[in-house]
């Protein structure tokens, strides 16, 4: 499959994965792992909706022979945690991991709460009993963007930020917004960005501006960090600043001097957080609101827990994250039904064994050897709707995530050492924002004239694809809840 074919909204290949998500694709062949052999040309491919096969593909660390399918989109700024492999990946991981800690998650939580208040004030919600939102993604996308700008880049941002400066120049936030929104500009050769097309022109301008800004920032933050280290002062806790600090600390030690990122790698990893974290979080949050609007009983379960834990007259605190487990479970369930990363391609760099559990229902495992260079596709969407793992997979049941060990089956953030490093960032942001909004408002479907809730559900609870899998535009009506 070509990249352009995969992301095309008209692509039958991608829609086929969605349309056959209820596992009939695999049941037709009596197995959860199948080989697809082309009639005329190209290499065969292996598709698997088996969780254990996915663990073998995705859980490997530095010694794993399974390399990620190359992503040109995430290579826009250079090598980073996602695109690197083996020892190079290990270096990136060791430097990035300390940035994701309890202090940073507390900042994420507090920023999500502040952003909710900022949004409500700017949108005029404080004076309304009902609010109609034609496209919920506009709210969740703005939220996710502000969170990454503030907590990732360490740049102040608010709901009402202008897109241009007083002199008419593009602002830093607007340049980031242009780069983070889905755009075909990133898919084409760079010379095409000089074509007289508005989308290409804006993308090129934003790209140049951010490149210059980030290089200046690396030098300024490096100088600041050196001073802070000498004075034994604490530094800023945004991801960008923490990475610069880790680089400087490692450079001063003979034991860690090899654990240093170049300026290009520093910048690439910060932008990885932007690209990987923005659209995925925004779409999953929108799916959560849609599913809760269509399932009022499930929404009431969340509301009752929120009131029990937080009450109605104060903001939730970071320490209450684990007590709001039903809110988190709703987010996990939405990520199962609409996994942003709907497939995980891996290619072995050498002939590699792969164990197929219960091959063809025989009760015995089969061991095959996958030749070097053959694409093995971990079908995340297929696993998410596999009734062996999730009874009644078509239903929105947040309660399925209750109990110890259940979150190990959350495949939407990847598995093992190479799982999404920003998972807790995303879930912290989601739980804080959902808690604030669902405590104040009841979410219901915003219906078209003459439309029923069932018709709304059929229209809205459906997938759309670009770089990731998302949900259709989510129209909701918010009704203010009475406070005790």
Domains of the chain (ranges plus CATH)? 3-30+61-343+379-480 (1.10.630.10)
pLDDT score, position 288? 98
Residue 297 tokens, joined? 């009983």
- Is the per-residue pLDDT at 10 higher than 60? no
Residue-averaged pLDDT of the chain: 88
| pLDDT bracket for residue 1 (50, 70, 90) | very low
pLDDT score, position 5? 44
Distances (CA, A) of 76 to 180, 217, 434, 452, 467: 12, 19, 32, 44, 14
Residue 23 tokens, joined? 């596992």
| pLDDT bracket for residue 229 (50, 70, 90) | confident
d(C-alpha 418, C-alpha 151), whole Å: 22
Distances (CA, A) of 27 to 21, 218, 373, 386: 11, 53, 27, 10
Q: What is the DSSP string of 195-249?
A: SS-HHHHHHHHHHHHHHHHHHHHHHHHHHHHHHHHHTT-----SHHHHHHHHHHH
Q: What percent of the chain has pLDDT over 90?
A: 48
What is the enclosing helix (H) or strand (E) of 444? strand 441-445
Helix (H, G, I), strand (E, B) or coil at 190: helix
d(C-alpha 340, C-alpha 185), whole Å: 21
pLDDT in tens, 388-408: 999 999 999 999 999 877 888
Helix (H, G, I), strand (E, B) or coil at 151: helix
Could you tell me if 265 and 79 are in contact, meaning their C-beta atoms sit under 8 angstroms apart?
yes
pLDDT in tens, 124-150: 998 899 999 999 999 999 999 999 999
pLDDT in tens, 355-364: 998 766 677 8
pLDDT score, position 467? 76
Nearest alpha-carbon partner for 327 in 303, 291, 308, 295: 303
| pLDDT bracket for residue 270 (50, 70, 90) | confident
Compute CA 154 distance to the chain's CA centroid, rounded to the nearest angstrom: 20
Rounded to 10°, the helix 263-294/86-96 angle is 70
Q: Maximum CA pair distance of the chain?
A: 71
Could you tell me if 182 and 188 are in contact, meaning their C-beta atoms sit under 8 angstroms apart?
no
| pLDDT bracket for residue 3 (50, 70, 90) | very low
pLDDT in tens, 436-466: 999 999 999 999 999 999 999 999 999 998 7
Nearest alpha-carbon partner for 430 in 143, 84, 233: 143
Residue 420 annotated as part of some ligand binding site: yes
- Is the per-residue pLDDT at 198 higher than 90? no
> The tokens 């050196």 sit on which residue?
226
């Amino acid at each position: 499959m070509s990249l352009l074919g995969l992301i095309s909204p008209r692509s039958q290949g991608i829609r086929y994965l969605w349309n056959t998500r209820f596992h009939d694709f695999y049941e037709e062949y009596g197995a959860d792992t199948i080989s697809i052999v082309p009639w005329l040309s190209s290499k065969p491919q292996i598709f698997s909706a088996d969780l254990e096969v996915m663990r073998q593909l995705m859980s490997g660390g530095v010694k794993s022979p399974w390399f990620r399918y190359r992503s040109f989109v995430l290579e826009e700024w250079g090598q980073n945690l996602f695109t690197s492999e083996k020892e190079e990946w290990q270096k990136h991981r060791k430097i990035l991991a300390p940035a994701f800690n309890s202090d940073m998650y507390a900042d994420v939580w507090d920023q999500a709460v502040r952003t909710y208040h900022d949004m409500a004030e700017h949108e005029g919600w404080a004076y309304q009993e009902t609010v109609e939102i034609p496209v919920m993604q506009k709210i969740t996308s703005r939220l996710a963007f502000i969170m990454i700008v503030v907590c990732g880049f360490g740049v102040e941002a608010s709901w009402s930020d202008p897109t241009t400066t007083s002199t008419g120049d593009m602002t830093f936030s607007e340049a980031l917004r242009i780069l983070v929104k889905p755009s075909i500009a990133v898919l084409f050769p760079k010379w095409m960005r000089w074509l007289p097309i508005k989308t290409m022109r804006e993308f090129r301008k934003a790209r140049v501006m951010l490149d210059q800004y980030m290089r200046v920032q690396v030098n300024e933050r490096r100088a600041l960090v050196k001073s802070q280290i000498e004075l034994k002062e604490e530094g800023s806790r945004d991801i960008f600043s923490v990475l610069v600090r880790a680089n400087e600390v490692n450079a001063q030690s003979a034991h860690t001097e090899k654990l240093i990122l170049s300026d290009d790698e520093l910048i690439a990893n910060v932008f990885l957080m932007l690209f990987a974290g923005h659209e995925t979080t925004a779409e999953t949050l929108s799916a959560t609101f849609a599913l809760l609007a269509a399932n009022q009983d499930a929404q009431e379960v969340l509301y009752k827990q929120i009131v029990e834990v937080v009450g109605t007259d104060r903001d939730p605190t970071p320490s209450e994250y684990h007590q709001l487990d039903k809110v988190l479970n709703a987010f996990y369930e939405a990520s199962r039904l609409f996994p942003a990363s709907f497939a995980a391609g891996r290619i072995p760099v050498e002939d590699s064994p792969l164990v197929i559990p219960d091959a063809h229902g025989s009760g015995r495992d089969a061991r095959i050897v996958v030749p070097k260079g053959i694409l093995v596709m971990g079908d995340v969407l297929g696993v998410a709707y596999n009734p062996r793992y999730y009874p009644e997979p078509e239903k929105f049941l947040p309660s399925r995530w209750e109990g110890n060990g259940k979150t190990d089956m959350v495949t939407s953030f990847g598995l093992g050492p190479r799982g999404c490093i920003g998972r807790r960032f995303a879930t912290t942001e989601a739980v804080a924002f959902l808690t604030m909004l669902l405590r104040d408002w009841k979410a219901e479907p915003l219906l078209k004239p003459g439309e029923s809730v069932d018709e709304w559900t059929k229209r809205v609870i459906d997938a759309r694809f670009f770089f990731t899998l998302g949900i259709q535009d989510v129209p909701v009506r918010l009704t203010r809840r009475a406070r005790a």
